[in-house]
Structure 1
Amino acid sequence: MSDYGHPLTFGAFLTPNNANPDRVVALAALAEQVGLDLVTFQDHPYQPAFLDTWTLMSFVAARTSTVRLAANVTNLPLRPPAVLARSVASLDLLSGGRIELGLGAGAFWDAIEAMGGRRLTPGQGVQALEEAIEIIRQVWAADERGGVRVAGEFHRVVGAKRGPAPAHDVGIWLGAYKPRMLALTGRRADGWLPSLAYLKPGDLARGNAIIDDAAREAGRAPDDIRRLLNVNGQFTDTARGPLNGPAEQWAEELADLALTEGVSTFILGSDRPDDLRRFADEVAPAVRDLVAAERKADAASETTTATRAAERSGDTPPRRAGARATAAGRSAFSVVPTPDDGVRRSEVQVWDESARPTGPAPDPERTYTGHDLATAKHLVEVHDGLRGELAQIYDLIEQVAAGTIDAGRARSHINTMTMRQNKWTLGTYCESYCRIVTTHHTIEDRGLFPHLRAGDDRLAPVIDRLEQEHHLIHDVLERLDRALVAFVSVPDGMAELRAAVDLLSDTLLSHLAYEERELVEPIARLGVS
């Protein structure tokens, strides 16, 4: 049982489905917005239903600014290591040092062979992976003299020039399960990245032992290797099994894995936005609190071994209970406002964003209860609902656009009628959405804003500006209504409709980000009524 003492990090494991490319990009952006540290993607180049992982990562890197990215794990048999090394280094340089390298020896060999890859036995796969790691590290060692030379059985490089070097020390994480791969992890890798669903009871402990022994034999310290873990589960109101229950249960189970099995990076496999938000907002902070409290107690105690033995026998030591109390008590402000990504689709500007006032800076010494934080988080959740509905409007417009093309080509009265039905369906949906936005703003103007203004008069300039923006957003919604009327009454109103929705997107997303930036902390501090 080991705790290697690494800082805890949390990430997402997303499916790169190509049926709706924007969705996986939006999920990656959401992961960054809610404060996850890492976003990873499956890499199955032979899967026609998937986007190419490295192309996707490049696109996501350009749409994010802080979150780290990795393939989980890279399919080495279909990606030559020397080229892969330069791809990783290039994207790391372009992203400001945010790329890590997950590597696998290969699986699904029929599909790999069908794509032109070479079928390998398990032993050959391990040898090929070790040769690849050597090539990758030599390519990255741009300051060393001489070319890259690896005369391997499966990968040969005979004098290729070195470089570029990545922007940071890229971690090489191996998806390992069998003894030879685990030993390779200990000798050459920076991290071990299995999936919990593929492990049997005791596999983490056995894998750690093999990795630790191999590391020592190679002259390395066991804590040179980070232990990462892909996890899956369900959030439910009551406990139903491992990682199948409320967030508090998740936190306790993951904290145990950190403290007893050395796992320091937990990567949630889910494509559900609600799961990612709960993992970031509820599970990750609680795990950090539990582990920090335990580590602090360990550092101050000379009875760590006896206490761990009591845990294994079923007796919960007082200090673990104290850690849970800390997690449930007051804490620093942790609600993450949704940042404005700065993307603007329309050439029209209805306000000057640079003239927006700012409210008072939060008191760094103040702490907040769980209820305080939940109240502030609710504003973000309401806004997320509006953002999601806005995305659906775009989807509907694309469907209508596709229907218009089909109707024009077929030149049939039936398709024309279908196109008109699509138009009215879009109009009805937008009418409902616009009403929701207006109601949301009315509630704020008549209830929340006066309460915040009375609670802290320093917020007055911000609230005045938000109320002004609400009126301008109403005008933008009226413009969208007019565009919808034009769309159903003229042969081609799509350009005007797209422009109106783009303007709505610019104004609404900008406004919501500004409102969250200025109000989530005051809402936590002052309440809503």
Structure 2
Amino acid sequence: MKIGLAIGDFTWPSGPSQLGPELAAVARAADTSGYDSLWVMDHFFQIRMLGPVENEMLEGYTTLAFLAGITSRVQLGTQVTGVHYRHPGVLLKIVTTLDVLSGGRAALGIGAGWNEGESRALGVPFPTTSERFEQLEETLQIAHQMWKGDESPYEGKHFHLDRPLNSPQSLQRPHPPILVGGGGEKKTLRLVAQYADACNIFPGPDMTHKLDVLRAHCDAVGRDYDEIQKTTAYWEPIEFTDQGIEQVAEKLADYAKLGIQAVHMSIRESHRADLVQQLGERLIPAVADF
């Protein structure tokens, strides 16, 4: 099992003036202590599950570019980009740039989006749910086309690209891994089966059912289910003691039995590089064989 670090809270005790150096220390700790990946939310305001909207939130891809410059090993991605935030041609150019400058470590995390409040607040168009899912499928099609080097015009219902040129191309071939977030059974998991390299399913009692649905979609579109990496998040409080780390490892063992291959860990003290390093050094070896 692979372990990633997910950072979703930037309201840190030292304030915005120290966010740069403190985030750098956290990223270096993750890079050197065995984490497979490093993820940030792609939101403009803090989300309601983590705090009031007025709390500090960094723009996702600017943050990933900063992290790329101070790390050398971890994969870098958003968990996940709302499809309506950026035009797909621009989004693919951004992720490709991140891949090139990071030495081939970018991932495209993407979903249909849900946060109408922050979109309306900043004047970002927020289409209907059905339209966003249509846009998501078109964006995934454009991603495969641009990363394949096909410059022929793309004509979709929502997006029209006269010449989807992508130069330089991504270093990862055939393309940076695509992770589609969410567990919607009719649309999201079908898109995972058809276009994605990884899924990100919320933890809960229905995980087995969601994976069964994904398998059925794979069968329907002729995709090998085993090609897709199954990931989930870990949001529960962590006690940094031998017993606490053991309890986390036991929980991840249960996930592994369900077929989960990677877990993106969040810790409440996300500003603490020492705790990030401690968790990596103690938990990652414990779950390596799951």
Bin of the TM-score, shorter chain as denominator length: 0.7 to 0.9
Deviation at 1:264, TM superposition (A): 0.8
- Deviation of residue 77 (structure 1)? 1.0
Q: Does 1:133 align with 2:140?
A: yes
Q: Can you list the C-alpha shifts for 1:234-262, whole angstroms capped at 9, x where unaligned? A: 333789xxxxx621121122022112x21
> Hey, what does 2:115 align to over in structure 1?
108
CA distance in 1 between counterparts of 2:182 and 2:69 reads: 30
1:74 matched to 2:73? The reply is: no
Amino acid at match of 1:206: H
Equivalence for 2:63: 56
| CA distance in 2: counterparts of 1:105 and 1:128, whole angstroms | 8
Q: After TM superposition, list the pairs within 5 Å mapping 1:474-489 onto structure 2.
A: none
Q: What is the one-letter code of the residue matched to 2:4? A: G
Matches within 5 A, 1:112-511: 112-142=119-149, 144=150, 146-147=151-152, 149-168=153-172, 169-179=175-185, 180-196=187-203, 199=204, 201-202=205-206, 204-236=207-239, 246-259=244-257, 261-270=258-267, 271=270, 272-289=272-289, 291=290
Q: For residue 154 of structure 2, what is the amino acid of its counterpart?
A: V
Q: What's the offset of the Cα at 1:134?
A: 0.8
Secondary structure at the residue paired with 1:209?
helix
Equivalents in 1 of 2:79, 2:31: separation in Å? 17
Structure 1 residue 156, shift from structure 2 partner: 2.3
Alignment of 1:4-43 (within 5 A): 8-15=1-8, 17=10, 19=16, 20-22=18-20, 23-43=22-42
Amino acid in the other structure paired with 1:255? A
User: Is the 8 Å Cα contact of residues 42 and 82 (structure 2) preserved in structure 1?
Assistant: yes
C-alpha displacement of 1:280: 1.2
1:273 to partner: Cα distance: 3.2
Q: TM-score, normalised by structure 1?
A: 0.48
Note the residue ranges of structure 1 that are not aligned, 5 or more in a row.
1-7, 240-244, 292-529
Give the aligned residue type for 1:68.
Q
Contact 2:198/2:229 (<8 A) preserved: yes
Q: Give the secondary structure class of the aligned counterpart of 1:159.
A: coil
Q: Distance in 2 between matches of 1:275 and 1:127?
A: 41
TM-superposed CA distance for 1:122, in Å, is 2.3
Q: Deviations over 1:20-44 (max 9, x none)?
A: 3222222111111212111110111
Structural RMSD (CA) = 2.1
Following the alignment from structure 2 to structure 1, what is the Cα–Cα distance between the partners of residues 274 and 164? 47
Tell me the SS of whatever aligns to 2:261: strand
User: Would the aligned equivalents of 2:249 and 2:286 in 1 still touch at CA under 8 Å?
Assistant: yes
CA distance in 2, matches of 1:15, 1:237: 20
- Tell me which protein shows more helix as a share of its residues: 1
Letter of the 1:28 counterpart: A
For 2:122 and 2:148, locate their aligned partners in 1 and report how far apart those are by CA, in whole Å: 31
Is the alpha carbon distance of 1:115 and 1:150 closer, same or farther for their aligned partners in structure 2, counting shifts above 3 Å?
A: farther
Note the alpha carbon deviations across 1:422-474, whole angstroms, 9 max, x for none.
Answer: xxxxxxxxxxxxxxxxxxxxxxxxxxxxxxxxxxxxxxxxxxxxxxxxxxxxx
Which residue does 1:303 correspond to in 2? none
- Mapped partners of 1:178, 1:269: distance in 2: 23
Q: Verify the 8 A CA contact 1:40 1:69 in the aligned structure 2.
A: yes
Secondary structure of 1:120 counterpart: coil
**CA 1:154–1:46 in 2, change beyond 3 Å: closer, same or farther?**
farther
Partner of 2:51: none
Q: 1:235 to 1:176 in 2, by over 3 A?
A: closer
Deviation at residue 98 of structure 1 after TM alignment: 0.7
Counterpart Cα distance in 2 of 1:40 and 1:165: 22
1:73-131 C-alpha deviation (Å, 9 max, x unpaired)? 11221111111111111111111111111102111113213323222232222111011
**For 2:84, what is the secondary structure of its paired residue?**
helix
* SS of alignment partner, residue 25 of structure 1: helix
Residues 92 and 113 from structure 1, CA distance in 2 versus in 1: closer, same or farther, beyond 3 angstroms?
same
- Counterpart contact for 1:86–1:139, Cα < 8 Å: no
Which protein shows a greater Rg?
1
Aligned residues: 270
SS at match of 2:158: coil
Classify the secondary structure of the residue corresponding to 1:246.
Answer: helix
Contiguous gaps of at least 5 residues in structure 2: 47-53
Higher strand residue share? 2
Change (3 A) 1:205 1:114: same
CA distance in 2, matches of 1:151, 1:237: 52
Tell whether the 8 Å contact from 1:235 to 1:275 is kept in structure 2 after alignment.
no
Shift of 1:57: 0.8
Whether the 8 Å CA contact 1:89–1:165 is kept in 2: the answer is yes
Q: Which has the higher contact order (CA 8 A, sep 6+)?
A: 2
- Say whether the 8 Å CA contact 2:182–2:202 is kept in structure 1: no
> 1:16 deviation in Å?
5.9
Report percent identity of matched pairs: 27
Opposite residue 155 of structure 2, the aligned amino acid is A
In structure 2, what residue type is equivalent to 1:212?
R
